[in-house]
A and B are shown apart, each in its own frame.
Chain A
Amino acid sequence: MRKKKEKGLYLSDRPPLTPLKAVLLTISYILLFIYVFVILWPLAQIVFSSFNGSQDQYIRIGGTYEFSLKHFKYLFEETYFLNWVVNTIVIAVATALLTLLFVSFTGYAYSRYRFKGRKASLMAIMLIQTIPSFVGIVAYYTMHSIIAAVIPGFSRQMFLVLIYAGGGIASNTFILKGYIDSISTELDDAARIDGCGNLQVYRLIIMPIVRPMLAIIALWSFIGPFLDYMLPSILLSDPKQYTLATGLYTLITDVRNMHQPVFAAGGLLTALPIIILFIALQNQLVSGLASGAVKG
């Protein structure tokens, strides 16, 4: 049925607005809009300066504005931006897939099977996940040269993927295990009686139910490489191999290479898809963070 509004009749279930409350409400609105400005102003500056053709190496405010795409042109023609995008996406996808593969098995095994050493290894997992990921930075570089000597063709990026995925195993196993625990075992028992093997039970029964959690795990493993600066800056040395974070940083540190508006353009292109992703999936992402709250 369509809603019909009748004028002159107070229909709201809230009490009428008193003058004091009206003042408070106005203050609330003012505060909220001030913060909207605080958030949007810097972000708007990124957008403006990326399209401002009158700036060259440095970003200035209050100068003349002239719409132009030359910074984007520079970004695609003079820098390795496309390489960085491809590198980051490849690393992110590989990390997400590898994490899913590892974690599906471990989460399932720890949730559904009672085996010797289970409790001890769970404690170990909890301890491992509290150890911050930067602990190994001294060893990573040398470790890569050792592995590369044994397996030729083992690139630094592959090692990066292994570090991201390996570092995520402990906490993600814990998250997924908790999620599978909440599913009744009667379903798997029924499947087993019908002749399903271990993997079939996972593939046909568990996986369809835990898909939302798998999606969250995959999403966070995918976003991780986009946001990380430290590990790629340690491991990758060739500008062509850089990820977006390390690559864009070269545009604002190196004096010879300094192009702040170009950085803004690259930042804009990088941020847009991620912003869309975050806005579209905000509820899932927050719940994923909440269940992974243990990770420091």
Chain B
Amino acid sequence: MRYGTTIIDDIGNEHPRRNLRLAEMGVLEERLESEPKEKVAQIKSELKSLARGEHEYEKSLADMRAEEKAFLAKAPERKTAFEKTLTDSDAKIRKWSLEAMESAARVEFYEQHVELSYDYELLARTHRMMAEQLPEIASKRRQILDELNEVTDELERAKKEDQSQVMADFRQYREERLKKRNDEKAYLKKLYKEGQISSKAFANEKREKDLAASEDIRSRKQLLPIEMLTDRVRYLKHRLRQDEKQALTVLHSDIADLRRKTPIEISKRFPWVSYLTIPIPGLGQLILGQSVKSIFFFIGTLYAYLIAIPYALGRGNYRGQGLFGLISLAKDASRLDRSVIFMIEGVIAIILLMIAFLIFYQSYRDVHKNEQRMIKGIRINNWFETRTTASRSGFPYFASAPAALVTLFIVLLPIAVTVLISFTNYDPSHQSKFSWIGLANYKQIFLGQGIAGGPFWLITGWTVIWTLLATSLAIFIGFVLALLVNQDRIYGKRFFRTIYLLPWAVPAFITIMFFSIMFSPDGPLTNLLHQLTGQIINIKDSPWGTRIVLILLQGWLGSSYVFLLCTGILQSIPGDLYEAAKIDGATGFQQTRHITIPILLFQTAPLMIGQYTFNFNNFSIIYLFNGGGPFEPSKYGNLAGSSDLLISYIYKLTIEKQFQGIGAAITMIVSLVLIFFTWIGFSRSKSFREEKL
């Protein structure tokens, strides 16, 4: 990059260079391109000597620096001199006044040297601003303080004085007002008794009268001297805090504005700091002068070097070896070590490293961007500006950080582990130590081989049948019930609605367990069936018996929800649709067919898809009703029963029978299918189509 003869500030205005050495270099660089070849060597040597800093300007700058140092060294002397002139005792006012006087002195000093450098111009203007605004802030504070003292004194005096007369007046007013309210209320009651106003209007009016009375009494109370003065004291104390905060913010933003308008000149042309400080986030910010910000990045550095990297290398692990655990899976570790732990800790290490990497990258980008801005001539943010922007644009990151962390470790980590386990031979004979086996689990499942993979297709078939039948039955029942109940000639709608809500309101596990009891051998419903048919039918021992009962039971359980949803939608269908249909001569049946059912279907469709996925995963009903049974070892082997769904099969494989590898592989397949279907359902939903993200 070339120096050029001008620099740009943050607003985009061009400024001439004041650093004469750099300006001269800029001119020479421009000449280098246009001048004939013979002069090139001479220009280059000139540039070289300039780059070494040999210029008159550097000398005057060095002189100025020495002068400035001497001037600043005298600051304590000036301070003691100023202090003698101060009369105010308030600490803050003293501080501000001192600062203002010192600033005034500095303005005088720096203004002589404005032409030398933009830094001095900025200093001069900043101090002028402080010298102007600080005394104002101080005098405002003094004003409020004086008023506060006065009011406090008054309050003290008022408290000592006899208030009985005023209080008596107030009490009398209150009694009168309450009496007036009671009279009004009595009148209202009379109106209500006579039937002139409804009970609702009566209740509303009563509330209104109560409110009006208490409002009047409160405002009257505030006229009492003590109340008034206490209020005033509170108000002034609030002003004292608030005004100061506001005035200082104004001052700081004015200064920030100056910083934006005043450019900076540096001789650096290449953003080397950002590259060199990549390994230590925070250092770059410190070098560029953003010290407070650097503290936050240094915390990130500490995290990376003391937590993330050592953890990934195996230090501070619970049992595992950090990242290496993912490869070795505890193969050569002691007998007690378990592969799962090594795997989980490996995944944790990856997550920690990813966070660390993010910190490194953010820090590098921050430094790099700021350095490039400085080279252009823009002053980078001071702490006040950083804080202001961070509190606005950084808020969403801070706000969602806890949720993101929890999601990362509680949701994504287990998912990642499940994905990894599906590629291992984690089974009963490899509980403690397992190893990578590639896609073998998936192959077993798809080909239906082995003890665990064998029944997969049978179970999948039943799962699909179950999902379709059970959900459709529930939807059908709920639908019909909603249509029946919402006919306008049906009385007792509330009663039916409350009863039909019950299967949804009673926790499903209770009803399922209870039905399970009733269908057990010798259970009430089994006996009932026995009496009705004359045969002993043991539902729980017959595969299709269990399946049919399960479907009926889910119809019973699921219809409530569908019923409620449909009822809600039916009530929201505008009545004029039906009226128009009636005028056109439609019969009641035609109205239902052509108006009600299309609207219902259309509006409930996405929710009904949700019902299908819910039943696909309906673990409770299968597991709690008959434990997935009855068992048919000839078809299903020893691991699954004939009413098991994929989800309960996964549960049995991973939790009960210790075939975690295959269980994880089935989980992966099921999840992918589910994600696909919910995604379809979602992409058709309203919010997605309207792109209201």
Q: Cβ of B619 and Cβ of A229 under 8 Å apart?
A: yes
Asked if B462 CB lies within 8 Å of chain A CBs, one says no
Query: B582-610, CB under 8 A of A: which get 1 and which 0?
Result: 00000010000000000000000011001
Measured between alpha carbons, how far is A169 from B403 in the docked complex, in Å?
7
Q: Cβ of B654 and Cβ of A138 under 8 Å apart?
A: yes
Q: Cβ of A245 and Cβ of B507 under 8 Å apart?
A: yes
Measured between alpha carbons, how far is A32 from B477 in the docked complex, in Å?
11
Stretch at the interface among B38-46, B74-82, B278-286, B415-423: B415-423
Asked if A128 CB lies within 8 Å of chain B CBs, one says yes
Shortest B430–chain A CB gap in Å is 14
Asked if B481 CB lies within 8 Å of chain A CBs, one says yes
Query: A157-173, CB under 8 A of B: which get 1 and which 0?
Result: 00000110111011001
Known: A43-B506, A271-B507. A109 touches B610 (CB 8 A): no
Closest-by-CB residue of A relative to B588 is A21
Shortest A205–chain B CB gap in Å is 15
Stretch at the interface among B232-240, B510-518, B534-542: B510-518
Asked if B636 CB lies within 8 Å of chain A CBs, one says no
Q: Please, which residues of chain B bring their CB within 8 A of the CB of A136?
A: 411, 413-415, 417-418
Q: Please, which residues of chain B bring their CB within 8 A of the CB of A45?
A: 514, 518, 524
Stretch at the interface among B8-16, B164-172, B173-181, B660-668: B660-668
Asked if A267 CB lies within 8 Å of chain B CBs, one says yes
Asked if A76 CB lies within 8 Å of chain B CBs, one says no
Q: Please, which residues of chain A bring their CB within 8 A of the CB of B348?
A: 146
Q: Cβ of A59 and Cβ of B517 under 8 Å apart?
A: yes
Shortest A33–chain B CB gap in Å is 9
Q: Cβ of A166 and Cβ of B568 under 8 Å apart?
A: no
Asked if B54 CB lies within 8 Å of chain A CBs, one says no
Q: Cβ of B403 and Cβ of A102 under 8 Å apart?
A: yes
The CB with the most chain A CB atoms within 10 A, among B485, B507, B508, B617, is that of B507
**Docked complex: A99-149 residues within 8 A CB-CB of B:** 102-103, 105-106, 108-110, 113, 115, 118-119, 121-122, 126-128, 130-132, 134-140, 142-143, 145-146, 149
Asked if B532 CB lies within 8 Å of chain A CBs, one says no
Q: Cβ of A132 and Cβ of B681 under 8 Å apart?
A: no
Q: Cβ of B513 and Cβ of A32 under 8 Å apart?
A: no
Q: Please, which residues of chain A bring their CB within 8 A of the CB of B403?
A: 102-103, 105-106, 169, 173
Q: Cβ of A135 and Cβ of B391 under 8 Å apart?
A: no
Q: Cβ of A271 and Cβ of B413 under 8 Å apart?
A: no
Q: Cβ of A132 and Cβ of B509 under 8 Å apart?
A: no
Measured between alpha carbons, how far is A119 from B73 in the docked complex, in Å?
54
Q: Please, which residues of chain B bring their CB within 8 A of the CB of A36?
A: 496, 499-500
The CB with the most chain A CB atoms within 10 A, among B477, B516, B678, B681, is that of B678
Stretch at the interface among B87-95, B122-130, B140-148, B394-402: B394-402
Known: A28-B490, A163-B410. A289 touches B484 (CB 8 A): no
Closest-by-CB residue of A relative to B664 is A138
Asked if B475 CB lies within 8 Å of chain A CBs, one says no
Q: Cβ of B619 and Cβ of A139 under 8 Å apart?
A: no
Q: Please, which residues of chain A bring their CB within 8 A of the CB of B674?
A: 130-132, 296
Give the number of residues in B that approach A within 8 Å (Cβ atoms): 105
Known: A39-B556, A227-B509. A138 touches B663 (CB 8 A): yes
Query: B640-678, CB under 8 A of A: which get 1 and which 0?
Result: 000000010011001100001001100100110011011
Asked if A9 CB lies within 8 Å of chain B CBs, one says no
Known: A43-B506, A137-B651, A289-B607. A169 touches B391 (CB 8 A): no
Shortest B161–chain A CB gap in Å is 39
Q: Cβ of A229 and Cβ of B318 under 8 Å apart?
A: no
Q: Cβ of A230 and Cβ of B619 under 8 Å apart?
A: yes
Query: A residues bordering B, Cβ < 8 Å?
Result: 1-2, 14, 17, 21, 25, 28-29, 31-32, 35-36, 38-40, 42-43, 45-46, 58-62, 102-103, 105-106, 108-110, 113, 115, 118-119, 121-122, 126-128, 130-132, 134-140, 142-143, 145-146, 149-150, 162-163, 165-167, 169-170, 173, 178, 181, 195, 197-198, 226-227, 229-230, 233-234, 244-245, 248-249, 252, 260, 263-264, 267, 270-271, 274-275, 277-279, 282-283, 286-287, 289-290, 293-296
- Using A136-B418, A271-B510, A293-B610 as known contacts, list a sample of 15 further A-B pairs with CB atoms less than 8 Å apart, ordered by residue number in A: A2-B195, A14-B488, A102-B403, A109-B395, A113-B395, A128-B412, A134-B650, A137-B650, A137-B654, A142-B344, A181-B692, A245-B507, A249-B513, A278-B505, A289-B565
CB pairs A–B below 8 angstroms (7 shown): A32-B485, A43-B506, A106-B400, A136-B418, A170-B411, A230-B619, A286-B565
Query: B residues bordering A, Cβ < 8 Å?
Result: 195, 246, 318, 338, 340-341, 344-345, 348, 391-393, 395-397, 399-400, 402-404, 406-407, 409-415, 417-418, 421, 477, 480-481, 484-485, 487-490, 496, 498-511, 513-518, 522-524, 527-528, 556, 561, 564-565, 568, 588, 606-607, 610, 613-614, 617, 619-620, 623-624, 647, 650-651, 654-655, 660, 663-664, 667, 670-671, 674-675, 677-679, 681-682, 685, 687, 692-693
Chain A to chain B: the 5 pairs with minimum beta-carbon distance, closest first:
A136-B414, A166-B410, A278-B505, A61-B524, A296-B613
